[in-house]
Structure 1
Amino acid sequence: MAKAAYHNPQNNLHSSAQHTTAENRIHYERHRPEETVLYQLVQEHIESFFAQVETETGSGLPDFVKDEFDAFLECGVLAHGFLRLRCADCTHEKLVAFSCKRRGFCPSCGGRRMAQTAAHLVDHVIPNVPVRQWVLSLPIPLRYLFAAHPHLISPVLQVISRAISTFLIKQAGFKRPDAQTGAITLIQRFGSAANLNIHLHCLVLDGVYRIQNDTVEFLSVRSPTVDQLQALLSQIIKRVMKALTRHGALIEEEGMTYLADIESDAALAPLQSAACTYRIALGPRAGQKLLTLKTVAAQNLEQSGQEYCANAHGFSLHAGVRYAMNQRNKLERLCRYITRPAIADERLARNKDGQIVLTLKTPYRDGTTHIVLSPVEFMQRLAALVPRPRLNLIRFHGVLAPNAKLRAEIIPGSKKNKSHASNANDAAPPSQATVRISWARLLKRVFEIDIERCPHCGGNVKIIAAILERTAITKILDHLGLPARAPPRAPAQIFDPFEPT
């Protein structure tokens, strides 16, 4: 199939008979991206944005960024193809549009990936032991460095993972050869203001594993103190700077450290740099700070959880979130928060002047609740958020690494647990854990919505065809009175970089 995933179902189509909806049944309407502010923004300004970048930088955007915008305009739109689903009992039909499955800024595909990743990590990866979240924030120059050269994240992650694991092993009273621990690092690339803010969320097993008499034993460790966090952060900073210097990304001269002049993409680099520093990249307001709205009073700088936070030289290390082994639901919610989409449709709006107003997830300490950008300026932000192809945003360390010897013994649904289940019931063959979770199951798990049941009679809904041919698409949508053509892109406007807005 041309596109492997699909969007939410199109309901309220024809059926051969009238049926009453089951009482209290949750009904899920198809997501209509063409009606959202984000879709209309891209549709109306994509060509103008591409022209602006080429005019001001002398180079077009990389193909992977252009492909992201192109795919987003097709995502969830029935005119680009769909699946036909039919109820086996009452013949009620639904149409399901295909999705783009991109990782940049699509809220729908990002929401699906969020739910699927969180469920997979909790069900199949993270052992049933206490887990602590370690969040490492980076200074702005390093955020830009990792955005422009993501291959540098790997050696830095090795340094960070080894420092935290060594700390936990010593905290448990052992040496590295005698105990092991594990972690999952989720690389988050954005902030609440759609800014480019690369930082690391490390879900670390809050303890160590030991092998005693051929038995794997987990030992929890005590919480870190402020002094321990500060010492650990200083150690991480020192080792990270050395690693980046070794790889030629940093230069040390006369006691000063600065970024090396590494070749970057001519068109994407200014967008990423501005998105890191809360500024405008191109256009008449290039270099200026974002326009912000402050609608609440400034907050007290002292916040809860500061006893588990350390700061130094633009770095920040926070370890105040911990979940016990019986708090798996809370752990899954944390995973969903970390892997959430960069843009949420409900936080975007247009004001009377046609500007884009983005509501922050939580107010800043100075009372800022919204940022305001022109449509093309917001497009600059979207382009900066697109990750490069084949960039793995989830990394596994220690006993959770793919080839770790203990991994098969400790993860949920491990071979050891399966063998016990098989001994209890010899007639039942051992089953393998299903890694992929269908979108229908995710909706039921996260939102308690069952799209595999007919909203009219409660019968099972099955896929009967994939409609990809243009003539068939047009014929079916015309028959149902639905748009058979995708919303057209607005033509590029002639752009003068010196003309005031």
Structure 2
Amino acid sequence: MSTAISFVTTATNQYVSRGRNELHTIFERHFADFCAQYDEKYAATYGRYRLERIQQIGERFCTCGDYLQGVARIRCTNPECGHDYFRPFSCKGFYLCPSCSRKRTILFAEHLTNEVLLKLPHRQFVFTMPKALRPFFRHDRRLFAEVSRLIYDILRDFYHEAAGRPLLTGMVIAHQSFGDQLRWNPHFHTIVLEGGFDDEGTFFCIPFSGLQSMVEVFRRRVIKLLVERELLNEDFARNLLSWKHSGFSIDNSVRILDESAKESLAEYIARPPISLKKIHYEPFKGRVLFHTKYSQYFKQNLHMFDALDFLAELTQHIPPKGLQLIRRYGLYASRTKGRWQDMRWVAERAPDGWKATHHHSADTEGLGYVPLWDGDEEVPVDSRKRAWARLLAKVYEVDPMVCPKCGADMKVIAVIEDPDELKRILRHLIKIGRSPPGFDPDWLN
């Protein structure tokens, strides 16, 4: 019963809401069966107490773009034109809904680039762990926060050692639980300021090469953490430390020097596990064909899932409610960032968005975006709402708040949630030949 919120650009640059996508169809046909079989078939592998959370997000996703759940009516402000359209509500099912996740990803990347990352060189570090330890992170997702802090401590200590003095640096650490073909592969993407400031405000640039010693420190500290949490016994820990090929790795081959690279990487670390471009649903066989780039691990570039198995692989990446997936440390932590104005050497290198809101707070129109709050990961609801039209114009080159017929501004004139009123509107749209894309008139019965 849902109509996806995704967008295309027509020849006249008109905002058009596309019909249902294949992920909606998969959920509508198989999600109820998946939930019914979860405890028996999937709970032992994916988590025994996760079904309630999965149902909550899955059911919300099934209503995303459903005209029967509520719409906003948007009309041209030119009284001689009167063009209007209805936009259904979105589900905000981050990490599941591709459309809602895309909006969140772009907002996060803009916030990080325009208001957080200093105008200095940065580098991406990617931390990975052996397969033997990955199940611990599936069943205790609090470990992500502890390992994030551990990674910050390791990099900070290496900076102190290299500079011969304490340095204040900045990092953004995101954990992702998914790898190729949706398999469980917890790893950490870290955007690291390539150096740091000493107590006198002097910046020391410290590019890293040769990470063997850092990998060994990472391995020992993670194993120590798991032993302290009584997830590993001493014998298994010693066995892990004896492995010649430990399975731990750190990659820092990506250096970030310009704003475009910062924004692209910020989008990458905040992306959801699923892309509609990668899946093809075969309804008669109840199977999902998952396309991806060639995987050295699987020795293939596609995989055929049973629909229920596909849902199990996908929904395992839905985080518990309230779990913070992206954290900021050092100069980029909210508490320290609140003192940038008192740190002249930092303020001079601050991004333009931060400078505009702190030095010219009354004039932010020239930024090209709405400044967001300074939370560690999310952006507030009001900012998300204001950003909707601007993000569509940025990504799809179509502005839904500009009338495609006369070019005048459009505005929301009503929000409609009453079921009877919605059915009356939809029947009228069908009658005059303006049925919403993908909407089945039988749903009104």
Whether these two folds match at TM > 0.5 is yes
- Structure 1 residues 486, 10: closer, same or farther in 2, change over 3 A? farther
Deviation, structure 1 residue 111: 0.9
1:121 aligns with 112
CA contact (8 A) 2:227 2:237 kept: no
Task: Report the CA distance between 1:417 and its aligned residue.
Answer: 6.4
Closer/same/farther in 2, CA of residues 365 and 196 from structure 1, 3 Å limit: closer
Residue of structure 2 aligned with 1:44, choices 17, 23, 29? 29
Q: Residue by residue, what CA displacement relative to the aligned partner does 1:370-397 show, whole Å, maximum 9, x if unpaired? A: 0101111111112212111100011011
Match of 2:63 in 1: 74
C-alpha separation in 1, matches of 2:235 and 2:225: 16
Q: Is the 8 Å Cα contact of residues 115 and 354 (structure 2) preserved in structure 1?
A: no
Matched, 1:29 2:19: no
Q: Which amino acid aligns with 1:388?
A: P
Report the counterpart of residue 103 of structure 2 in structure 1. 112
- 1:445 corresponds in structure 2 to 394
Structure 2 residue 164 is matched with structure 1 residue 174: yes
Question: Retained in 2: the 8 A contact 1:9–1:97?
Answer: no
Contact 2:38–2:51 (CA<8 Å) still a contact in 1?
A: no
| Aligned partner letter, 2:209 | T
Q: Tell me whether 1:393 sits opposite 2:325 in the alignment.
A: yes
CA contact 1:10–1:95 (8 Å) conserved in 2: no
- Per the alignment, residue 464 of structure 1 pairs with 413
Partner residue, 2:265: 334
What amino acid is aligned across from residue 246 of structure 2 in structure 1?
A: H
* 2:288 match: 356
Residue in structure 1 matched with residue 188 of structure 2 by the alignment: 200
Deviations 1:172-191 (A, max 9, x none): x2322xx2101001111212
The change in CA–CA distance for 1:416 and 1:111 in structure 2 (over 3 A counts) is: closer
Contact 1:43–1:487 (CA<8 Å) still a contact in 2?
no
Where do 5+ consecutive residues of structure 1 fail to align?
1-5, 12-20, 259-310, 426-431, 489-501
| C-alpha distance in 1 between matches for 2:107 and 2:361 | 28
User: Contact (CA 8 Å) 2:119, 2:351: kept in 1 or not?
Assistant: yes
TM-aligned CA distance change 1:66 to 1:413, over 3 Å: same
- Displacement of 1:65: 0.9
- For 1:323-366, what per-residue CA distance to the aligned partner results, in whole angstroms no more than 9, with x for missing partners? 11xx1012101111222221111211134744210001454476
* Structure 2 residue 184 is the aligned partner of structure 1 residue 245: no
Q: 1:485 to 1:122 in 2, by over 3 A?
A: farther
Shift of 1:225: 2.1
Write the distance in 1 (CA, Å) between the matches of 2:311 and 2:354.
48
Q: Does 1:220 align with 2:178?
A: no
2:250 to 317, 333, 341: 317
Q: 2:322 is paired with a residue of what secondary structure?
A: coil
Counterpart CA distance in 2 for 1:183 and 1:401 is 8
The one of 335, 351, 356 equivalent to 1:412 is: 351
Deviates more, 1:65-74 or 1:340-349: 340-349
Contact 2:172/2:332 (8 A) holds in 1: yes
Higher helix share: 2
Determine if contact 2:175/2:188 at 8 Å carries over to the other structure: yes
Map of 1:267-286 to 2, 5 A cutoff? none
2: distance between equivalents of 1:51 and 1:239? 41
1:135 matched to 2:126: yes
CA distance in structure 1 between the partners assigned to 2:53 and 2:237 by the alignment = 39
Give the match for residue 297 of structure 1. none
For residues 422 and 7 of structure 2, what CA distance do their matches in structure 1 show?
16
Task: For residue 254 of structure 1, report the CA deviation from its aligned partner.
Answer: 7.3
- CA shift in 2, pair 1:391/1:312, >3 Å: farther
1:154 equivalent to 2:145? Answer: yes
Superposition deviation, residue 162 in structure 1: 0.9
Say which is worse superposed, 78-87 or 432-441, in terms of deviation.
432-441
For 1:422 and 1:84, locate their aligned partners in 2 and report how far apart those are by CA, in whole Å.
Answer: 33
Aligned partners of 2:218 and 2:396: how far apart in 1?
Answer: 40
Matched, 1:189 2:181: no
Distance, in Å, in 1 between the alignment partners of 2:185 and 2:442 is: 34
Cα deviation, 1:239-298, whole Å, max 9, x if unaligned, reads 11112222222221376468xxxxxxxxxxxxxxxxxxxxxxxxxxxxxxxxxxxxxxxx
Matches of 2:236 and 2:146, distance apart in 1: 25
Alpha-carbon distance between aligned partners in 2 of 1:396 and 1:254, rounded to the nearest angstrom: 33
One-letter amino acid matched to 2:120: V
Number of aligned residue pairs: 400
The structure-2 alpha-carbon separation of the partners of 1:422 and 1:53, relative to structure 1 and needing over 3 Å to count, comes to: closer
SS at match of 1:317: strand
**Identity, % of aligned positions:** 27
Task: State the 1:217 CA deviation.
Answer: 4.0
Going from structure 1 to structure 2, the CA distance change for 1:331 and 1:419 (only over 3 Å counts) comes to closer
Distance 2:95 2:132 in 1: 22
CA change 1:175–1:486 in 2 (3 A) is farther
Which one is further off, 401-410 or 330-339? 401-410
Secondary structure at the counterpart of residue 250 of structure 1: coil
Q: Partner amino acid for 2:399?
A: D
TM-score, normalised by the number of residues in structure 1: 0.73
Distance, in Å, in 1 between the alignment partners of 2:398 and 2:245 is: 46
Give 1:205 shift. 0.6
- TM-score, with length taken from structure 2: 0.81
**Is the contact between residue 136 and residue 201 of structure 1 (CA under 8 Å) also seen in structure 2?**
yes
**How many angstroms apart in 2 are the aligned matches of 1:159 and 1:355?**
41
Query: 1:378 maps to what in 2?
Result: 310
Paired with 1:474 and 1:407, the residues of 2 have a C-alpha distance of 53
Counterpart code for 1:412? P
8 A contact 1:413–1:433 mirrored in 2: no
Change in Cα spacing, 1:471 to 1:419, as seen in structure 2 (3 Å) is closer
**Distance in 2, Cα, partners of 1:84 & 1:10:** 19
Secondary structure of 2:411's aligned partner: strand
Residue 343 of structure 1 aligns with which residue? 274
Q: How far 1:168 sits from its partner (Å)?
A: 2.6
Cα distance between partner residues in 2 of 1:456 and 1:97: 21
* Contact map agreement 1:251 1:257 (CA 8 A) in 2: no
